Amino acid sequence: MLEDKNPQRTSLSELGEFKLIEHLTHQFKINHKSTILGIGDDAAILTPAKKSIVVTTDVLVEGVHFDLSYVPLKHLGYKAVMVNLSDVYAMNATATQITVSIAVSNRFPLEALEELYAGIETAARIYNVDVVGGDTTSSTSGLIISITAIGEVEDDKVVKRSGAKPNDLLVVTGDLGGAYMGLQVLEREKEVFKVNPQNQPDLSMYTYIVERQLKPEARKDIVELLEQLEVKPTSMIDISDGLSSEIIHLCKQSNVGVDLYENKIPLDPQVISTCEEFNIDSTTIALNGGEDYELLMTISQEDYPKIKANPNLSVIGYITEAERGMHLITRAETKVPIIAKGWKNFNETDSE
């Protein structure tokens, strides 16, 4: 579906592993004082300040997490970094370093990996993280990307999933459902392209939601905003698998219940209109779609005046005692138990 704008193909076997790593990573700059030694030795050396260290890792597998028929490699590199940084920010931490490991089959030329690493470099530069190591190896089943992110946070500023208390407010950043609906548009256009390869898709009507899928942004800005507002969430989690899944994780870890209000869930107009086009309920998408990489948090009611006028933050619910359960309060003011379908199961049931 995407035209090959770089017809040159240099076989990876022409370089060998060490020259390949050197070629792909030579442009990475070191910015953090805590990075003593980056790429080039047996291991990186980090000397963080007197803070807690946050470590997270994610693996993205071709055919499971991404489809290269419509995902540009540069966007994929960028997104792979975002997926990991989002988990760091969900701990109220600052991301400082990443390592990048890939397994790649011989169908990928050097130029393809250059595109992938250009996306990684762009993400590292914009989000001010040092790329300090990684690995490359061969794969018999396409492309696999594994990124580990490292961050740091002062001990008294760490936010876990387990700190929510009854009477806290449930707050979400940004808007939800865009990434899933962007995926639906891309999948539909892929099928059209299979039937008529001469027909290039016009995605201009879906710019926002397609970008939410192909090039999400981790919410580093929210960690900085909360610091400025002098608000420390009582609990926090990033939204990778859908709002319902993350609410359940947070409530179980904190041993609390929740009332989530359907009419408070933030939806972009493009999400609403595309849901109507696909004849899908927008609330269902927000609850189960996933890959939004927004932050879900609870805050003390005392902090509400600090956040109430902020367009980045929406109060969507209220934390209750665990025995009251986890419920969605619909627009019709009925109570429905919150069930996590998750993006995989949701995808399967949606196609039935």
Whether residues 305 and 341 share a domain: the answer is yes
Among 158-162, 211-215, 266-270, 338-342, where is mean pLDDT lowest? 338-342
Report yes or no on 124 lying in a domain.
Answer: yes
Structure confidence at residue 212 as a pLDDT band (50, 70, 90): very high
Rounded Cα gap, residues 269 and 275, in angstroms: 10
Whether 11 shows a pLDDT value over 80: the answer reads: no
Among 22-31, 57-66, 165-174, where is mean pLDDT lowest? 22-31
For range 215-244, the mean pLDDT: 97
In the chain, alpha helices (H): 17-25, 73-89, 110-126, 178-195, 207-214, 220-229, 243-254, 269-278, 282-288, 304-307, 342-350
CATH code of residue 121: 3.30.1330.10
Rounded Cα gap, residues 135 and 101, in angstroms: 4
What percentage of residues in the chain have a pLDDT greater than 70?
84
Rounded Cα gap, residues 67 and 187, in angstroms: 9
- Classify residue 12 by its DSSP letter: G
The pLDDT, as a whole number, for residue 322 is 97
Structure confidence at residue 199 as a pLDDT band (50, 70, 90): confident
Query: Domain residues for 100?
Result: 12-156
Whether residues 196 and 321 share a domain: the answer is yes
Report yes or no on 6 lying in a domain.
Answer: no
Q: Are 89 and 246 in contact (CB under 8 A)?
A: no
Count CB neighbours of 252 within 10 A: 13
SS3 for 120?
helix
- Of residues 23 and 88, the one with the higher pLDDT is 88
Rounded Cα gap, residues 271 and 288, in angstroms: 14
For the record, the structure tokens of 248 come out as 């359940």
Q: Are 143 and 177 in contact (CB under 8 A)?
A: no
Structure confidence at residue 3 as a pLDDT band (50, 70, 90): very low
Final residue before a domain boundary, out of 126, 156, 186: 156
Residue 326, Ramachandran bin (φ over 0: left; ψ between -120 and 50: alpha; else beta)? beta
Structure confidence at residue 136 as a pLDDT band (50, 70, 90): confident
Maximum pairwise Cα distance, the chain: 65
The pLDDT, as a whole number, for residue 198 is 79
Q: What is the dihedral of CA 136, 138, 143, 149, to 10 degrees?
A: -30
For range 166-176, the mean pLDDT: 98
Whether 56 shows a pLDDT value over 60: the answer reads: yes
Rounded Cα gap, residues 50 and 155, in angstroms: 9
Whether residues 246 and 110 share a domain: the answer is no
Whether 343 shows a pLDDT value over 80: the answer reads: no
Whether residues 145 and 266 share a domain: the answer is no
Whether residues 136 and 265 share a domain: the answer is no
The pLDDT, as a whole number, for residue 44 is 58
Q: Domain count for the chain, please give it.
A: 2
Give tens-digit pLDDT for 281-327.
Answer: 999 999 999 999 999 999 999 999 999 989 999 999 999 999 999 99
Give tens-digit pLDDT for 67-105.
Answer: 999 999 999 999 999 999 999 999 999 999 999 999 998
Final residue before a domain boundary, out of 156, 182, 202: 156
Q: Are 222 and 233 in contact (CB under 8 A)?
A: no
Report yes or no on 161 lying in a domain.
Answer: no
